[in-house]
Amino acid sequence: MDSRGAIIYVKSLEEAFAISSAIAPEHLEIHIDDIALLRLVENAGSVFIGKYAPESCGDYASGTNHVLPTGGLAAAQSGLSIRDFIKTPTFQRLSKEGLKQIAPTLITLAETEGLAGHAASVKVRIK
């Protein structure tokens, strides 16, 4: 394998999908008739299915975004989408008893990180 590509011989489609997921390609063209096997795609930036779906479709005209994770980053990140422009805050609400249950863990982690103020913010609330 070099930086431009590779030919990898496999014994089964399952093995091919496993190797592909380990590589986490930016673009993945799949030429199979049984689209049920697409469930085996785990990591890929953009997937092109069948002989009439070349990569250039996604680059220029089929509607998917061409800002894709490169260098194997598809293992952890999808291509750019509308979700990347939506702000989704997280919320936490605990009771005093709930905080007491996790306080030892919080205090230990905060003190281990050298964040005395974080530890103190828990200690003062559970008194």
Cβ–Cβ < 8 Å for 59, 103:
no
What's the domain count of the chain?
2
Are the CB atoms for 48 and 58 separated by under 8 Å? yes
Task: State pLDDT tens for residues 74-112.
Answer: 999 988 888 888 988 788 999 999 999 999 999 999 999
Return d(Cα 69, Cα 91) in angstroms, integer. Answer: 29
Q: What is the CATH number of the domain that holds 38?
A: 3.40.50.1980
When mean pLDDT is compared across 14-18, 35-39, 56-60, the lowest value belongs to: 56-60
The token duo for 5 is 């590509």
In degrees, rounded to 5, the angle at the alpha carbon of residue 15 between the alpha carbons of residues 13 and 17 is 70
Answer yes or no: do 26 and 51 share one domain. yes
Catalytically active residues, by annotation:
26-27
Q: pLDDT value at position 117?
A: 96
Q: Give yes or no: residues 25 and 48 share one domain.
A: yes
Are residues 39 and 69 both part of a single domain?
A: yes
- The pLDDT tens digits for 57-74 are 888 888 887 889 899 999
Cα(27)–Cα(66) distance, integer angstroms? 10
Q: What is the mean pLDDT of the chain?
A: 91
Domain that holds residue 106: 96-126
6 within a domain of the structure (yes/no): no
Q: Please check whether residues 26 and 79 belong to one and the same domain.
A: yes
